[in-house]
Amino acid sequence: MDEIDSGQGSFWEENRNLATGVILASAVAAGVIAYVLRRSREEEPVIEPPAGLADRAWEAARDAAGDERVDAAREFFMDHVMPELKPALLAILADLEVVVNEYFRRTEKSIKKL
């Protein structure tokens, strides 16, 4: 305590990194609190279930193009396009799994270092 009160400079001047850290931590904490308060006051948006949205889109397509054309397009898509896309979609999914697993491994290492 004597070192702090001696005329050699204040504690905060000697420990600028600590002072900066304290200010930064306080600002982050205030920002998090403000964000949480703002989110708690907002109304949650009404999200239409995907099935309802798909049904409406299907009906709009039938109204615009007619039943026969929509059925023909669906059959063509399921018979010709989907078999071509299936391997690509599976490859994308496998790549995404690798990326997500790597991210979780890195996050786990970071948490263990704390």
pLDDT at 9: 56
pLDDT average per 10 residues of sequence, the chain (114 residues): 53 66 82 84 72 78 80 86 89 93 92 86
pLDDT at 94: 94
The structural domains of the chain, with segments of one domain joined by +, span 1-52, 62-114
Question: How far apart are alpha carbons 49 and 57 in whole angstroms?
Answer: 13
pLDDT at 14: 65
pTM: 0.39
Question: How far apart are alpha carbons 94 and 99 in whole angstroms?
Answer: 9
pLDDT at 59: 82
